[in-house]
Amino acid sequence: MPIVTGQDTAKTRRDLKVGGNTYSYFSIEAATDAGLGDFSRLPASLRVVLENMLRFEDGGRTVSTDDVKAFAEWAQKDGKNPREIAYRPARVLMQDFTGVPAVVDLAAMRDGIKALGGDAQKINPLNPVDLVIDHSVMVDEFGTPRAFQFNVEREYERNMERYTFLKWGQNAFNNFRVVPPGTGICHQVNLEYLAQTVWTDTDQNGKNVAYPDTLVGTDSHTTMVNGLAVLGWGVGGIEAEAAMLGQPISMLIPEVVGFKITGALREGVTATDLVLKVVQMLRKHGVVNKFVEFYGDGLDHMPLPDRATIANMAPEYGATCGFFPVDDETLRYLRQTGREEDRIALVEAYAKANGFWRGKDYAPIYTSTLELDQGDVVPAISGPSRPQDHVALTDAAYEFSKYVCGNRKLKEPTREEAKVWNEEGGAPAPTVMPGHRDGYHEGKVDGSDYDLHDGSIVIAAITSCTNTSNPYVLMAAGLVARKARALGLNRKPWVKTSLAPGSQVVEAYLKAAGLQEDLDALGFDLVGFGCTTCIGNSGPLDAPISKSISDNDLIAVSVLSGNRNFEGRISPDVRANYLASPPLVVAYAIAGDMNIDISNDPLGFDKNGKPVFLKDIWPTSKEVAELVESVVTREMFQEKYADVFKGDERWQDVKVTDSETYDWPPTSTYIQNPPYFRGMTMQPGVISDIRDARELAILGDMITTDHISPAGSFKPTTPAGQYLTERQVAPRDFNSYGSRRGNHEVMMRGTFANIRIKNEMLEGVEGGYTKGPDGAQTSIYDAAMAYQAAGVPLIVIGGAEYGAGSSRDWAAKGTNLLGVKAVIAESFERIHRSNLVGMGVIPLEFTEGQNRKSLGLKGDEVISITGLAEDFTPLKIVDATIRYADGTEKVIKLKARVDTEVEIEYLENGGVLQYVLRNLAKS
């Protein structure tokens, strides 16, 4: 299908000759010449959005000349001009956890449009969509040569219903491709293969058009590809579905924070250390809803995989994206990863012609700036529960001891107290601080010759596209394993180790370097190509270890090379989670204990009883760089991506029937027809005031989408577990919440069901519990169903940064299905706010410095919100009347975080998908 550009475009259209080809493109310089404004000092990231306005300018139906001029005004107003614009990304990226419910919605929309008298074929992606199956593999088997094969077999056993459904979708929908299981992680596949930096297509007149590669993805870490100068960010599945179906994304022209990078990394410091520092700095600076663009001469010393690592963690620092302009390193990476030479030549020519090139004279205007000298970065980890909690490696053991004491309500130790050792059996083992021995917990492990205690590391995982896309840190991990192995060191027997790369290329270069054998020797056998531990698919711990942790209430630890370490995310057995570089993951597996100061104290002893320190096994930067240069080749990428959509024999054997609409299997516990379009008519509704609502939950700060809609495992005693048990599904086959996102019955039961969430309506209780209509403690789900049966609307109360983390749309879908009409919080993270609106739930912010604590909310109040039904405008201030249990009332002001006019239309229609469906049925 050709790209349909705007009609009045001749004045900004120019030709670009590259090699033997001629491309038409929309020129920002031509826009200046046409008198539309001075765009010369716009940041490259914003120039991408401006080009989008030029290409789709259509006389004001969706994009007007004033929208284009607004970008020149942005530069004149010190980088601020929050005008609403309609943005159209070139393509959409999905993974299977978020992709399955998106395809479920599309299938349901085909049923819905037929019920409205429309044509089912109108429900087809208009933009290219790639779905990569990467979220389903679990680490059931580890530390053995058969781990990969075993885990793949279990993956297919668990997920065949989902894979059959996705394969049906691939056949049923146009512009929709599926990358099969076992290929890699969507963001790494995107970075290494799918992304082109400059996209080409034919327009409605048959002309070949070049334009920036842009996308949205149903995963928050879609931002990773910004390291390759591809503008992309995460959205919820509902927003992505609308984009697929031709609906522009409504957004405000963002502020752009310039992050100046100078200098070079010191010896022994990794890209992971750099990004953890960047996350800390940007979280402190405040970049929610903003673009971050990296510039400065420090980029001259920064390989593209390092840039991708920084871009990947944009959700962790809260930005919409972290963008790197095109430069020589961009071209080098495109060449190394097997892109065609014609494409590389086009990228260079286009970037220079349209102002996307970072040369020595690159000096744009930014809304605000901050600066980092890479020489100031030190080895570090982040944790125990937030990515921005940066801890220098030299402070890691001490900070952990403080964390334990805070949990155990013990006196905080001094540094001297925190460093006390016993030597038992010739290996270092930390004792607890003096005076605190009784406060720390210990536990026997049945059938073993070791004990566990607070701080025992039970998971060490090289996982996640964040770091496994970077050959420098992976080679470093392999070299640490090689040097440790040569000295006779090994992982501790209680540590579950795993290696789950983001692409098959990683396996190829680790084997070519001879390092996979060394990693295997330390238990880091290949367990699968997928997200695994980073998203909570860490698999079960050995039963005796799990039992010891549970029976003794131990604060067990995981160390992973991922991007998220939120409470309850990695494993239900693990309370403290730390992000670290892959080589540090290997080192911590050897140490086996977070109480050990691995920067100064021995990791263990060699064959001769001599202590071995981290510096003894840490490779030099030169060693790593030489290995990467000699081993990682263009041919590896070309070979591994040659048949990327083909899959293995298992995938090829998945049989599906060709049909326009999906034949929903009534007994499926994975795929169910959702209720969003049932009984829908062509007439949209109205936005109503909320009368006499009750609070379903009162939550604190930094409530993440993991808290709201967990992705990991769940127990038979939970509402979701009971639902599956009633349908004869054995606990062994429960899989995870993430894998069951195609079934709304499971997911609404899992909403607000994170094992670590704390509802302030209940004192001292963790997990998905609340007070029901009778005031007794019950599950969130059961309380919501009781209130729904009584016709009582519900409200959720939150603190600051509500909805941080993943882009998962089920955090909004589940909220909606529980009967929640509004969420009132101190502030919202970008994606979740948008998702709430997209599902018809109104996000509201406290004003005048008020919050749940200052208002004394306890959960027994009755709340009414007025001002929604009449003259509703973006960001309207509305009244909320709180009636307390003693009969007193208080009226407060709330700001409706409905930011744009089109979002009001979404709410009137009951959500964005209903809005799109009605419009498609009309046409």
DSSP per position, 444-465: E-TTSS-EEETTBEEEEEE-SH
* β-pairing verdict for 91-95 and 231-234: unpaired
Interhelix angle 912-922/96-115, rounded to 10 degrees, is 40
What dihedral do alpha carbons 441, 446, 450, 451 form, nearest 10°? 0
**In angstroms, rounded to a whole number, what is the distance separating the alpha carbons of residues 436 and 427?**
22
Question: What pLDDT score does 241 carry?
Answer: 87
3-state helix, strand, coil in the chain (%, to 5): 35, 20, 45
**In angstroms, rounded to a whole number, what is the distance separating the alpha carbons of residues 429 and 440?**
14
**In angstroms, rounded to a whole number, what is the distance separating the alpha carbons of residues 721 and 753?**
11
**In angstroms, rounded to a whole number, what is the distance separating the alpha carbons of residues 535 and 544?**
24
- Cis peptide leading into residue 413 (ω within 30°): no
Question: What pLDDT score does 2 carry?
Answer: 56
Helix H or strand E segment including 234: strand 231-234
Decide: 101 and 237 in contact? Cβ < 8 Å. Answer: yes
For each of the domains in the chain, give its residue range(s) and CATH number, in order of start.
91-376 (3.30.499.10), 380-635 (3.30.499.10), 690-706+757-922 (3.20.19.10)
Q: What is the DSSP letter of 503?
A: B
Question: What pLDDT score does 434 carry?
Answer: 38
Query: Within 10 A of 38 (CB to CB), how many other CB atoms are there?
Result: 12
Query: Helix, strand or coil for residue 720?
Result: helix
Cα distances (Å, whole numbers) of residue 834 to 501, 900, 904: 32, 11, 12
Question: What pLDDT score does 657 carry?
Answer: 86
Place of tokens 């933009």: 127
What is the length of the chain? 923
Query: Helix, strand or coil for residue 13?
Result: strand
What dihedral do alpha carbons 693, 699, 701, 707 form, nearest 10°? -110
Decide: 697 and 688 in contact? Cβ < 8 Å. Answer: no
Which tokens in the block code for residue 164? 């059959």
Q: Based on the number of CB atoms within 10 Å of its own CB, is 882 exposed (0-12), middle (13-18) or buried (19 or more)?
A: middle
* β-pairing verdict for 451-453 and 442-444: antiparallel
- Choose among 187, 173, 186, 185: nearest CA to 105: 173
Question: What pLDDT score does 535 carry?
Answer: 84
Q: Based on the number of CB atoms within 10 Å of its own CB, is 336 exposed (0-12), middle (13-18) or buried (19 or more)?
A: middle
Query: Helix, strand or coil for residue 308?
Result: helix
Q: Which residues are 217's β-sheet partners?
A: 93, 234
Question: What pLDDT score does 3 carry?
Answer: 65
Helix H or strand E segment including 293: strand 291-295
Within 8 A by CB and 6+ apart from 734, the residues are 713, 714, 716, 721, 724
Decide: 225 and 195 in contact? Cβ < 8 Å. Answer: yes
Question: What pLDDT score does 384 carry?
Answer: 96
- Choose among 862, 873, 881: nearest CA to 897: 873
pTM of the model: 0.87
Question: What pLDDT score does 419 carry?
Answer: 66
Decide: 473 and 467 in contact? Cβ < 8 Å. Answer: yes
Question: What pLDDT score does 805 carry?
Answer: 78
- Choose among 324, 322, 333, 327: nearest CA to 359: 327
* β-pairing verdict for 91-95 and 214-217: parallel
- Which amino acid does the sequence have at 531? C
Helix H or strand E segment including 307: helix 304-312
* β-pairing verdict for 421-424 and 427-430: antiparallel
**In angstroms, rounded to a whole number, what is the distance separating the alpha carbons of residues 920 and 905?**
15
Which tokens in the block code for residue 679? 């009984």
Q: What are phi and psi of 163, to 5 degrees?
A: -70, -35
The stretches in the chain having pLDDT less than 50 are: 7-8, 421-436
Question: What pLDDT score does 6 carry?
Answer: 64
Cα–chain-centroid distance for residue 230?
A: 17
- Choose among 136, 140, 105, 133: nearest CA to 736: 136
